[in-house]
Structure 1
Amino acid sequence: MAAAAALRLPALGGWSLWADEVATAGLASLSWAELTGTLPWLETTPPVYYLLIKGWTALAGDSDAALRVPSALAGIASVAALGLLCRDAFGRRAAFWAALVLAVTGWHLFHSREARVYAILTLVFLLALLAGRGFAARAVRPGGSWVWSALGLAIISVLAAWLHFAGMIAAATAYLYVLLLMLGRRSLDPRAMGRFLVAGMAAALLVLPVLWLAWVLTSTDEYDGMAWLGGLGYRFAAVSLSRVVLLAPPVLDPWPVLGPACAAVAALLVAVLAWRSLRAGSRTAERMAWAGALLGGMALFLLAQAVGPIVLPRTLQLLVPLVAGLMGLGIAGMRPGVLRVGLFLAFVVSQAPGLHDIFRTPPDGSDWRDLAARLAAAPRDGSVVIALDAFDALAFDRYRAPGGPVADLVLLPAEGPELQRFATARLTSATPVAPEALLATLCGGAMAGSGLLVVERLSPLLDEARRILDTALRPAGAQPGAASGSRSLRLRPWTPPACPARPSAARP
């Protein structure tokens, strides 16, 4: 717990919010009615997380650090929950090492320090596994004590589903773990099987509204918030799955040699320690149920990918505690004690890129504070500020210097995610403009003849927007200048477009 807190709580506001966190800050500022009535049909994350953050910010404020505190607390609690789970399943020594492994794992650490839902979802998943163990023990006993365990497991599973659509996979994995545990203990008699089916049906019925909402979002509009995921494909899913399950450090790009080397060390340690924990002669019901839940969770993610795009490193965080549990079990079985310490330290070294960068750099390199400082130091020339994404405009406004310029326009295709138009209108002072109307907008009113300043965040998701902007401006004579910024966030000036002359009014 001390190690988990020491890595998750310090300097939570050390760097600016990145794109997804800006979305959290903006969407959590909506009214309660909008969060429950409008947002569920636009956003790919169900509204419960935003409702939670809205309530939290009413108490703690909406500073960068305050927004991240719930995730940090959930990350610390997840380490404790994994320790309890492994102590019950494998003993105290394995629980100690499993908790330590999770505490320093780069993926879990990163998501425990960002204002997104994934650390909280991981905690709820671990609570579901704990509740599942309680149900597995009570389902074989006479009497009605199993009912409360079944109800608790169902409620936790439904909470996971309402936090994120990946929570449905978390719920299914928890029930799979219970089933494998009961099968391994040879306690699944007809009475216990009936109780297990009742518990599963209760959860399934309660999850149906979430399943229906997910189906509506993925099937009714090709331009909904999930549309961008469709182009990632199975190759991206396979790479993401291997990186997360093998606990490769989440930050590799700035580390061209050390990053892959650390990833290779982490993969080797995961493979060796998992084999050690499951080798012949040690395949107890507890171990096989744990490994089966991990493999089943991986399979469920791949099956879900066939229905709708969901396999991303962030959603796969649910599997990280299961991997950490196997690693802790493998380390605990090593002799002598110095070997256990050495293996753990080797794993810490394998996470070095993530442990180094997590306190210094936003995950996508978009340092909005640095951008605001650069803009404040530059001469103010009245340029029109154009953003290519609603939440980029929101971030630009959030970090601007007092009295500094705000985002004026957000370039949005006419057939694009409705969430972008909603967020632009509701959360920013910018005006959404379609590409075909951009030139007319720039040449009309107070904007005519003004220079342009384009906010560029280097993300593959915005490549098409940059191409559209280029296509709209170059034919009108506008030319881009040299961009200024750092890593993935830049400001690029453009010369004013050549506006068509307005016809003069006829004299009488």
Structure 2
Amino acid sequence: MTLRNVTAPAEPTPRHGRRDWPVWAVPGLVTLVVTLGGIGHAQPWRDELATWSAATRPVPDLVRLAGTIDAATGPYYLLMHGWTALSGTSPAALRLPSALAMAGAAALTARLGARLAGPRAGLLAGLFLAVLPATSRYGQEARPYAPAALFAVLATLLLVGALGRPTWRRWTGYALAVAALGLLHLIALTLLAAHALVVLLVALRGPTAAGLEPPPDPAGPGGRRGLLWRWPVAVLPAVVLVAPLVLEARGQRGRQLDWVRLVRVDDLAALPGGLAQSGVVGGVLVGLAALGAARLGRRALLPGAAVLLPVLLLFVAGTAVPLWVTRYLFFTVPFACLLAGAALAGVRLGPALAVVTLAGLLGLPDQAALRRTHEWPRTAPVDYAGVARIVADHEQPGDAVVYSPRHSWLFPDLGLAYHLGARRPRDVLVVRDQRQRADLWAAECDRPAECLAGVDRVWLVVTGRRADPLAAVPGAKGHALRDAFTVRQVWPRPGLTVALLTR
């Protein structure tokens, strides 16, 4: 590829018609096939267990939970509450909304790419997104990241349409998409910084200054300046809806993100690999996106700002407040793929598709690994299902179960509850369960020795690999267990250890 090829203007953008449907339909279908492949293989990991726990509670309990922890994810839990009532709670059922959302995100990425850089760029952008390991990861995870990506691209596509033909219907659609984006993922609203930049440039200098195609009936400077009030009015509903969530989530940050540290400069270097869920594929994506930005020139402003500004804003905030979590920025990945598609559009379709295929092949090891476990790092899986099978195979009537530590982000109690359901042993130390506490953790009795009275067999589940799991239990609970029970048998499983204790 010569410098002339790289810096050449993008192919002209045609009007969308019936013949353009393969541009978005093919990436959408490919993404759906990829995300549905092995969607139920990996057992739900800790975050998905939180989703299951929240979504299966009655709506009043969901509201109470949002007042205690995870308010930012409350609207997503409410959505999943309705979904699980219809579909059930198998791993595949929990993850299907994310798979559908990811397929929609790929299709819309192709539409947006076609609008900004031409049909070929759009097609390649959608296909590149389809083969990323991260697309499979978040398309197979019962968390709000895939729906957030869908509404991020949808809102941006609707904004481009509203800037070209500013009708009230277009602005209403944009307002609804932005509101949905904010309700699903508060941090994704940093995308509005990119939208604000483009709106400002269009209002002051016209569409071409922002890299957008001039409308067939361009408005004068006076008409364009109406955008300076139309856009704030359109985002106002989102602000009103998410403001209570922001205020509630702010007070919960100490509990919700107590595992997150302040961001460092080296976190930026690890960002591409983390976002792509593959170091080598992330490097390819960054390189192609840089070439695409050079090729598009001004047309790269919107997708480029949609990647860089959210990253910059979260990084700056993360230097003062522990907020930097790589997956929170996944909604920027479709825009990076759009730039990569623009770079590949500068060569013939055959070689361009070969590059997309190569990126997919490079990500195959990560694709296979994430279908074994969603834990990170993937070398440290947590086998809730294995522990549940051991307990189910050896349980006797009257058995009890004890967990340590109780307030762990690994959620060993939720893991067994998910896999065993009502068949699990009695949680003998619990005085108020998660639903009663409006929390993700249960409360245990203050005098464990008294609560253990009358129990002859206890299943002890501890986090980590423990040669002597009984010795790993701290405090009064550990003393009560060691005083009254002995270890009969130990079964180590990845991430957890289960032991049978008898008097």
Normalised by the length of structure 2, the TM-score is: 0.78
Q: Which moved more, 1:184-193 or 1:16-25?
A: 184-193
Q: Secondary structure at the match of 2:460?
A: strand
CA RMSD, Structure 1 to Structure 2 (Å): 3.5
Q: Which residue of 2 aligns with 1:392?
A: 412
**1:62 pairs with one of 58, 75, 89:** 89
1:292 partner letter: A
Q: Which residue of 1 aligns with 2:208?
A: 185
CA distance in 2, matches of 1:58, 1:445: 36
Q: Secondary structure at the match of 1:42?
A: coil
User: After the TM superposition, which residues 84-233 of structure 1 pair with which residues of structure 2 at under 5 Å, given as runs?
Assistant: 84-139=111-166, 145=167, 147-179=168-200, 185-186=208-209, 189-204=221-236, 206-219=238-251, 223=254, 225-229=255-259, 231-233=260-262
Distance 1:311 1:92, change over 3 A: same
CA distance in 1, matches of 2:373, 2:363: 16
Task: Tell me, yes or no, if the aligned pair for 1:361 and 1:367 is still in contact at 8 Å.
Answer: no
Distance 1:244 1:32, change over 3 A: same
Task: Tell me, yes or no, if the aligned pair for 1:177 and 1:290 is still in contact at 8 Å.
Answer: no
Q: Which residue of 2 aligns with 1:47?
A: 74
Q: CA deviation at 1:348?
A: 1.4
Q: Secondary structure at the match of 2:263?
A: helix
Task: Tell me, yes or no, if the aligned pair for 2:307 and 2:335 is still in contact at 8 Å.
Answer: yes
Q: CA deviation at 1:319?
A: 1.0
Pair 1:351 & 2:363 matched: yes
CA distance in 2, matches of 1:431, 1:51: 21
Which digits, 9 at most, give the CA deviation of each residue in 1:214-250, with x for residues without a partner?
A: 234324x675x42414x42113x852x5444356652
Task: Tell me, yes or no, if the aligned pair for 2:195 and 2:302 is still in contact at 8 Å.
Answer: no
Q: Secondary structure at the match of 1:454?
A: strand
Task: Tell me, yes or no, if the aligned pair for 1:181 and 1:285 is still in contact at 8 Å.
Answer: no
**1:360 pairs with one of 361, 365, 372:** 372
Q: Which residue of 2 aligns with 1:433?
A: 444
Q: Secondary structure at the match of 1:386?
A: strand
Pair 1:453 & 2:463 matched: no
2:311 partner letter: M
Q: Secondary structure at the match of 2:84?
A: helix
Aligned residues: 450
Task: Tell me, yes or no, if the aligned pair for 1:273 and 1:327 is still in contact at 8 Å.
Answer: yes
CA distance in 2, matches of 1:426, 1:299: 35
Q: CA deviation at 1:266?
A: 2.4
Q: Secondary structure at the match of 1:166?
A: helix
Normalised by the length of structure 1, the TM-score is: 0.77
1:277 partner letter: G
Distance 1:305 1:270, change over 3 A: same
Which digits, 9 at most, give the CA deviation of each residue in 1:339-361, with x for residues without a partner?
A: 32342233113322321123333
Q: Which residue of 1 aligns with 2:19?
A: none
Structure 2 residues not aligned, in runs of 5+ = 1-27, 211-219
Pair 1:377 & 2:370 matched: no
Q: CA deviation at 1:201?
A: 4.1
Which digits, 9 at most, give the CA deviation of each residue in 1:407-455, with x for residues without a partner?
A: 43469xxxxxxxx964465699x96226xx3xx2134453567555024
CA distance in 1, matches of 2:331, 2:70: 21
Q: Which moved more, 1:325-334 or 1:164-173?
A: 164-173
Q: Secondary structure at the match of 1:47?
A: helix
Structure 1 residues not aligned, in runs of 5+ = 140-144, 251-261, 412-419, 459-465, 497-508
Which digits, 9 at most, give the CA deviation of each residue in 1:375-433, with x for residues without a partner?
A: 2334659354225248431221221287442443469xxxxxxxx964465699x9622
Q: Which runs of 4+ in 1 moved over 6 A?
A: 479-482
CA distance in 2, matches of 1:149, 1:48: 24
**Identity percentage of aligned residues:** 23
**2:428 pairs with one of 408, 429, 433:** 408
CA distance in 2, matches of 1:206, 1:138: 22
Q: Which residue of 2 aligns with 1:484?
A: 491
